[in-house]
Amino acid sequence: MEYTVKPLTKELGQAFANYLSGLDFSYAPHWAGCFCRYYYLDDPMDEWKNRTAEQNREEAIREIENGNMNGYLAYEGERCIGWCCASSLDSLKRLKQELGACLKEENAGGVACFVIHPEYRGRGVARLLLKTAVEDFRTHGCGAVYAAPFALPSEPVKQYRGTRAMYEELGFKEIERHDSVSVMRLDLRED
10-19, 83-92, 135-144, 150-159: segment of lowest average pLDDT: 150-159
Looking at residue 27, what is its pLDDT? 84
* 180 pLDDT tier (thresholds 50, 70, 90): confident
pLDDT tens digits, residue range 52-65? 999 999 999 999 99
Containing domain of residue 50, as a range? Answer: 3-187
Residue 167 has pLDDT above 60, yes or no: yes
Q: How many structural domains does the chain have?
A: 1
25-29, 87-91, 149-153, 165-169: segment of lowest average pLDDT: 149-153
Per-residue burial over 18-53, b = 16 or more CB atoms within 10 Å of its CB, e = otherwise: ebbeeeeeeeeeebebbbbbbbbeeeeeeebeebee
Looking at residue 151, what is its pLDDT? 81
pLDDT tens digits, residue range 40-52? 999 999 999 999 9
Q: What region does 156 belong to: left with phi over 0, alpha with psi -120 to 50, or beta?
A: alpha
pLDDT tens digits, residue range 94-121? 999 988 877 877 799 999 999 999 999 9
Q: State the CATH number of the domain containing residue 80.
A: 3.40.630.30
